[in-house]
Chain A
Amino acid sequence: MTDIVCNQVEKKFRNKKALNKLSCSIEGEKIIGLIGRNGAGKSTWLKLLAGHLKPTDGEIHIFGRNPFNNLKIATNLILIEDSMTFPPFFNLGELFDMASDFYPDWQGDLAIRLLEYANIPLKSFHHNLSKGQVSTFNLIYGLAARCAITLLDEPMNGMDEGIRTDMYRAILKEYIAYPRTMIISSHHLPEIEHLLEEILLIDDGEVVLHVPLEDVNQMLVSLKGDVNEIKEITDYQDVLFEKQDAVSYEAIIERNKINTNYQNQTNVQMQPVSASEVCKLLTHKQKGGIDDVFKS
């Protein structure tokens, strides 16, 4: 059964189209990485999934239902984001008590232990925490809720290196203990790669890529060497990226576009491209890098 189905979803704000005919479908329990540039529409999409916003066109179905204003979806879905607010009257311990009343699968002990580990006192108040502590608390809150669909919008914002690695491990362990559909939106793909099963790449409000992680890793190759040789290997097709050094020429192209016959005969170096590079390149507007801006 497909859990999440988006069909030609459009979301238009006053002067800007945040999502443009976005379609995707997500099935089963897995951790999906939501990758995209700033302003691509990731947060908007997550908010639409959570039922905070209504699509201006198209439809979203979660477990067969429209998530907007839907109590059944709200019971099984949680969205964790930076701007999450809690009733200012309660301290963190009381917030956990509140959550235990709401979420049936709430892991109170785990949450308290995690918070202790992160050195955040239970008696402090949410609005008095530092940025990193806020992110940590929100993440612990989201994990301990054990909702069937957990959406994390840039959960590691502001966290220092140490706690970040710990939290990634916590996400993994929690996921193993209770598998659920998790969508993590992040800018730090290299850090998060080991968690992900699938990658959902969004650019300009559209889904560019929705494939398992291994596929992404194999998707592009980087060719380095002599210009003419590379041009031959690539059959003069359009490349995604090219850079001309004093010494050599580098081009990145899809693996399936290469003429494999040439491979063994040349000095061209072929290297795999990491997933984050792939994502960056697929959403890039120009062929050159930032150096081009400084050239002229």
Chain B
Amino acid sequence: MTVFMVVLPILLILIFFSLFLAVSKGIKLKKNFWTAKRISIVTIGYIGLGLIAFIYLTFTNNNDDYKVLTSEEIEQLMKDEIEFNNFFSQKHGDKFNEKYLVDEWSMELSTDEVTFERESEDTYGRVFVLIDWRNDEASNEIYAKTYQIPYVYEGIDLTKELTKDQFEFTGDKLIVKKPPVQQFTFNSISPKMEMLEMNVQMPSASDDILNNAAVGSTFLYLNVPSHVTIIDEGELRFYP
């Protein structure tokens, strides 16, 4: 395909070149279809069509399904994620930024044991669990708070797609579901010369953020009664 892509334009160029050369050497076309007026009409028509397309694209550019974040927002997200990680390692679950709280739920335990499982085997996960113990003899409930930092790939907020049914609680097991194998295809228009973008070390780093940043983590803040034992098969907690 790439070879084809390279050869064909050159072939076309050669055809046009020879045509032009023929004209310049004096072999003139018998019937001159193009006059100055016709050419100007065609060109202006083409440009006009382009402008209509431009206006059309501006106004239909409101795809609600996926939210796009600006580079400033992404930078802010990255900072917040680092902050979250810090608090996580310091075990200050109470300091988690409430802005990212998405869900508050509870798990009712039938026994005194709860197992954490992870569906997928990779240890590098984006789900972090922080446990806070409370002295509560009476209940077997685990209160959970889900903090979600949006999953952003190339500036697109894909959180919804990636965190569907992330947690499942059945039979005293907290299962972190494996994120489905998904492929997203997006088309974008870029009035830039991508070739140059790749070759040039651009002083402005804002585009880098937009194009390369991938942020997103889920923090699960559990409030567990102290009498409950946790069997952490999935090694969800870094720090027990």
Contact = CB atoms under 8 A, between A and B. Distances in A.
Range class of the A interface residue count: under 10
Q: Is the interface of A mostly helix, strand, loop or mixed?
A: mixed
Nearest to B23: A88
Contacts of A125: 28, 32
Interface string B1-41: 00000000000000000000001001010101010100000
Nearest to A88: B28
A125 B30 CA distance: 9
Contacts of A119: none
A89 interface: yes
Q: Is the interface of B mostly helix, strand, loop or mixed?
A: loop
A204 B164 CA distance: 100
Nearest to A91: B32
B109 to A, nearest CB: 88
Interface string A94-131: 00000000000000000000000000000001011000
Contacts of A127: 26, 28
Contacts of A91: 32
A89 B30 contact: no
Interface in B186-201: none
A125 B32 CA distance: 9
A190 B36 CA distance: 45
Interface of B: 23, 26, 28, 30, 32, 34, 36
Given A88-B28, A89-B32, A89-B36, 9 more contacts: A88-B23, A89-B34, A91-B32, A125-B28, A125-B32, A127-B26, A127-B28, A128-B28, A128-B30
Interface of A: 88-89, 91, 125, 127-128
12 contacts: A88-B23, A88-B28, A89-B32, A89-B34, A89-B36, A91-B32, A125-B28, A125-B32, A127-B26, A127-B28, A128-B28, A128-B30
